[in-house]
Structure 1
């Protein structure tokens, strides 16, 4: 397959579309928990809104494949964008805890559907020789979009409904590049099985790691703005904090991932769990008066959490037959979404009793339990030689590798 201008333009359209979605998402990730925490809503409501995103994502994992098979990628993309817009409309109506929790659930379902469609389209449109670069561009653009959206949150009026209307604006823009693309849509996906037994047999360390990362990611990304708002941090400071955290995903993942290509990935997972614990301890003691130090700590916190996800995925692929990559990816995504729902649900229930910082303690507890599990497994299974490993790729639980859920045929050579 040649790298034709039309193919590159179509890929740029997909990346541009998802970047516009990310800007709106970045705004809502900061806006919803901040406003709910500052409102008269019960203390459990902001956490419930975080949990709803993960639960919606789990529903999206189940429903996206049948939807794409029924109407195709382009129409399914329009439907998922419509859900994002509908969710923002519900939020724009004013503070209503029930409506806002429902809205975040709708967004979660739409988000996973968006990723399934976008990554599947990129996989099928890209040549093998530059597919990795295309996916890296997609990942980087989305993370930059998230950070930009978080920064924009600090620039808009908190009163009124400007933020959700801005989200509607960026989502509407996102529909245009996909609607105008001339790239043929990928073939309809086949049904992909969820095989927990296979995933566990391939690598218990990877399977439990993805479960752990689901809870870790939603705790750090979802509860940090709640914690900041509860400590009277200003809107602009919260926006800057969320902006810096997104780039922590890149700065921590790459060196740890590169290290995992040279030494046993399980050792790097233990080291990363220790880094999460250390960052959590620092987050508990650093003063909100030392804003830039606080931001550095939370950037490390967020980056280390996402590193668990990416290295666990690489470790799973190291130990799995290539014929099982598709069901493995599907199973790990569902496992991640399940843990991302249950762990924040538990923390939401504990927050009114122990306060807003309980999510930090919960994050450290999950990291320590996972490190202990990996230590036990380190004695019971051999190390995979470097020459037999999959190359490490930057990945994020916020940008899940969900394209495999919609693969129908071998990708083009």
Structure 2
């Protein structure tokens, strides 16, 4: 099949589109919880908006492949962008709590569809020898876009509807590079096939790790701005906090990922969970009066949480036969989305009784339980030899790994793995 020129420039349109989308998303991730927390809305509404994103994401990952098979990647991308614009438009109408919860659900649907579409296109457009760099560029650009959007939120008036209008602007701009790209359309994506028993046989540690990371990521990323706004932190300070958090994973994930390439990934997962717990304890201890220190603590918090996701994915890849890669990725994606829905929902229900710090305690509890599970598995199974392990790849739990739902040729040359843990 014809390929576009083998260079990183050939995927610039995809990366540019998703970076523009990320700017709008980063703004709304800060704007919605800040406004809802400061409004007269019931206490459960900000948490429900977080849960709605994850629930929408679950719907998106189940219906995304079917939509792409029906209309193709470019049209499906336009449809998903339309959902983002509609969601922002609903928010621009004023503070109507239930309407905003529905809007965040629409955004969740669109977000996972976007990831399936763009990662599919990236996988198709890139050659084997630089595909890893392409994916790393995509992840980093998206995370930087999220941070830029959070920063931009701090520079505009929170009153009125300027924030959702700016989000609509960046989302509309994102349609242009994809609409004008000359990249060939990828093959239709694989069907989402869920096979939990198979994934459990391949790696219980990876499966439970992805479940844990879904809850961990949505708790830290979704509830932190709610927590800050409830403690009377100003708009600019909330924006700065969200901005710094997005870059925490750059400084934690890379060294921990590199370490996991040299030693048993399960040990690194236990160490990462310990870091999550330490960051949680620090978050409870540090006062909002020392905002700079609190920002650093939450940057470590977010970075450690994202690292659980990426190392768990790498751990699964180490043990997966290429023939099982699509059902593995499909199951992991659905598992992540389900956990990202249920855990925030539970925390939302518990917060009125236990206070705004409930999400911190919940994050620490999930990390502790997962670390104990990994420790038990570590004592009962041997490590896969290093020569059979994939290299660690930069990933973010905010950008679900949907690439395998698109095509499998990128993994065709991988050595056969043995299910060992």
Tell whether the structures are fold-level matches, with TM greater than 0.5: yes
Q: 1:5 to 1:69 in 2, by over 3 A?
A: closer
Deviation at 1:250, TM superposition (A): 1.0
Match of 1:76 in 2: 76
Match of 2:16 in 1: 16
Q: Aligned pair 1:66/2:51, yes or no?
A: no
Deviation at 1:190, TM superposition (A): 3.3
Paired with 1:400 and 1:135, the residues of 2 have a C-alpha distance of 12
Q: Aligned pair 1:301/2:298, yes or no?
A: no
Match of 1:115 in 2: 115
Match of 1:371 in 2: 371
Paired with 1:339 and 1:8, the residues of 2 have a C-alpha distance of 34
Paired with 1:4 and 1:22, the residues of 2 have a C-alpha distance of 25
Contact 1:61-1:113 within 8 A present in 2 as well: yes
Q: Aligned pair 1:169/2:169, yes or no?
A: yes
Contact 2:80-2:114 within 8 A present in 1 as well: yes
Paired with 2:223 and 2:49, the residues of 1 have a C-alpha distance of 10
Q: CA RMSD in A?
A: 1.6
Deviation at 1:14, TM superposition (A): 0.5
Match of 2:342 in 1: 342
Q: 1:215 to 1:311 in 2, by over 3 A?
A: same
Match of 1:179 in 2: 179
Contact 2:187-2:406 within 8 A present in 1 as well: no
Deviation per CA, 1:27-49, whole angstroms, max 9, x where unpaired?
A: 00000000000000000000000
Paired with 1:320 and 1:131, the residues of 2 have a C-alpha distance of 19
Deviation at 1:354, TM superposition (A): 1.0
User: What stretches of structure 1 of length at least 5 have no aligned partner?
Assistant: none
Match of 1:354 in 2: 354
SS of the residue aligned with 2:380? coil
Contact 2:199-2:328 within 8 A present in 1 as well: yes
Deviation at 1:387, TM superposition (A): 1.3
Paired with 1:372 and 1:293, the residues of 2 have a C-alpha distance of 29
Match of 2:417 in 1: none
SS of the residue aligned with 1:12? helix
Paired with 2:205 and 2:368, the residues of 1 have a C-alpha distance of 14
Paired with 1:275 and 1:151, the residues of 2 have a C-alpha distance of 26
Q: How many residues align?
A: 413
Paired with 1:8 and 1:130, the residues of 2 have a C-alpha distance of 8
Match of 1:262 in 2: 262
Deviation per CA, 1:213-261, whole angstroms, max 9, x where unpaired?
A: 0000000000000000000000000000000000001110001111111
Match of 1:43 in 2: 43
Paired with 1:13 and 1:302, the residues of 2 have a C-alpha distance of 29
Deviation at 1:9, TM superposition (A): 4.6
Match of 1:103 in 2: 103
Q: Aligned pair 1:129/2:129, yes or no?
A: yes
Stretch deviating more after TM superposition (159-168 or 374-383): 374-383
Match of 1:250 in 2: 250
Match of 2:146 in 1: 146
SS of the residue aligned with 2:155? coil
Q: Aligned pair 1:389/2:384, yes or no?
A: no
Paired with 1:7 and 1:116, the residues of 2 have a C-alpha distance of 22
SS of the residue aligned with 2:41? coil
Deviation at 1:5, TM superposition (A): 5.6
Paired with 1:53 and 1:326, the residues of 2 have a C-alpha distance of 24
Paired with 1:249 and 1:217, the residues of 2 have a C-alpha distance of 12
Q: 1:53 to 1:47 in 2, by over 3 A?
A: same
Deviation at 1:108, TM superposition (A): 0.4
Deviation at 1:55, TM superposition (A): 0.3
In the TM superposition, what are the counterparts of 1:295-334 in structure 2 within 5 Å? Answer: 295-334=295-334
SS of the residue aligned with 1:399? coil
Q: 1:346 to 1:4 in 2, by over 3 A?
A: closer
Deviation at 1:191, TM superposition (A): 2.0
Deviation at 1:184, TM superposition (A): 1.2
Deviation at 1:203, TM superposition (A): 0.6
Q: 1:99 to 1:70 in 2, by over 3 A?
A: same
User: What stretches of structure 2 of length at least 5 have no aligned partner?
Assistant: 414-421
Deviation per CA, 1:137-177, whole angstroms, max 9, x where unpaired?
A: 11111011000000000001000000000000000000000
Paired with 1:342 and 1:179, the residues of 2 have a C-alpha distance of 36
Stretch deviating more after TM superposition (135-144 or 15-24): 135-144
Deviation at 1:318, TM superposition (A): 1.0
Contact 2:128-2:410 within 8 A present in 1 as well: no
Paired with 2:375 and 2:72, the residues of 1 have a C-alpha distance of 45
Match of 2:416 in 1: none
SS of the residue aligned with 2:262? coil
SS of the residue aligned with 2:128? coil
Deviation at 1:6, TM superposition (A): 9.1
Deviation per CA, 1:310-356, whole angstroms, max 9, x where unpaired?
A: 00001111111122111111110100000000000000001111111
Paired with 2:403 and 2:389, the residues of 1 have a C-alpha distance of 21
Paired with 1:51 and 1:116, the residues of 2 have a C-alpha distance of 20
SS of the residue aligned with 1:261? helix
Q: 1:221 to 1:46 in 2, by over 3 A?
A: same
